[in-house]
Amino acid sequence: MSTPAADRTILVVNVNTSAEVTETIRRSAAAAVSAGTRVVALTPRFGPASVESNYESHLSAVGVLDAVQRHDGPFDAVVHAGFGEVGREALQDVLTVPVVDITEAAAHTACLLGRTYGVVTSLTRAAPAIHDRLLLSGLAGRCVGIRAVDRPVLELDADPESTAKGFVTEAQALVDDHGAEVVLLGCAGMAGVTEAVQAALPVPVVDGVAAAARLAESLVGLGLSTSKARSYAAPQPKPILGWPLR
């Protein structure tokens, strides 16, 4: 059933238009997959510089669709690299390869490691959208809390040490006060921070991009892909007026 890893390409799509964030995401994903699996990271051509609201999340969904649909070259799976963002289902409709959302990948992975988990994200206002995705996944009941460092996404990289410190404080509170047995880092592009947070914490720390890239590779390795039977059936061909996507 297993196919040679060397033939595999995982497309990892950033949700914002920052090439720097895309590169961080690419590095997380590349470090997570097996030797021989290629990671290609995409930046949307249009959309918000960072995604921190429902408004930006919905804009980013079509930026991500556009990026994937314009991508030239074969790929075996797609990672939707926005934590708590909408859009995974849209990709599943138009593709036949597996699509893995980093929020869901992180939560599924956490549930294999501990009975409960908590999430640390950037802004308090991001928590509800994250919670919605966890509710739909079925795994919200195992989430003991979502806490925020309350720094905008684009400032997280400015002072990584202080950022890591903020994440450690919130993560430790999830462990001590809420009984979290695993902590998810609720942002994409946290490669450097993940290691620092893991070093400081007594519980496993899951980076969604790494988890999603590895799960995507696993699905390919297992010869499995998105079910096209109902929810994610291919859309009927129909006129799409004035739209830049192909």
49 binding its own copies? (CB under 8 A): yes
Name the region of 63 (left: φ>0; alpha: ψ -120 to 50; beta: rest). alpha
189 binding its own copies? (CB under 8 A): no
CB of 33 to its own copies, least distance (A): 7
Count of residues interacting with its own copies (CB under 8 A): 98
- Residue owning tokens 């929810």: 231
CB of 159 to its own copies, least distance (A): 19
CA 239 to chain centre: 31
40 binding its own copies? (CB under 8 A): no
SS3 244: coil
Per-residue tokens: 204: 């496993």
Per-residue tokens: 101: 């959302």
The closest of 223, 115, 216 to 175, measured between CA atoms, is 115
In the complex with its own copies, the residue whose CB is nearer, 166 or 210, is 210
Task: Pick the binder of its own copies from 7, 45, 158, 169 (CB under 8 A).
Answer: 45
CB of 93 to its own copies, least distance (A): 4
Q: How many CA atoms lie within 13 A of 52 on its CB side?
A: 15
Tell me the C-alpha distance between 102 and 24, whole Å.
Answer: 14
In the complex with its own copies, the residue whose CB is nearer, 53 or 165, is 53
Asked whether the beta carbons of 61 and 224 are under 8 A apart, the reply is no
Task: Pick the binder of its own copies from 11, 48, 79, 197 (CB under 8 A).
Answer: 48
158 binding its own copies? (CB under 8 A): no
42 binding its own copies? (CB under 8 A): no
**Stretch in the footprint of its own copies (CB under 8 A) among 155-163, 164-172, 207-215:** 207-215
Torsion of CA 222, 89, 28, 17, to 10 degrees: 150
Task: Pick the binder of its own copies from 67, 68, 97, 129 (CB under 8 A).
Answer: 129
Q: What's the Rg (C-alpha) of the chain?
A: 17
**Stretch in the footprint of its own copies (CB under 8 A) among 156-164, 165-173, 223-231:** 223-231
SS3 224: coil
SS3 242: coil
Task: Pick the binder of its own copies from 58, 74, 96, 159 (CB under 8 A).
Answer: 58
Task: Pick the binder of its own copies from 138, 158, 159, 161 (CB under 8 A).
Answer: 138
Positions 97 through 126 that interact with its own copies (CB under 8 A): 98, 100, 104-105, 108-109, 111-116, 124-125
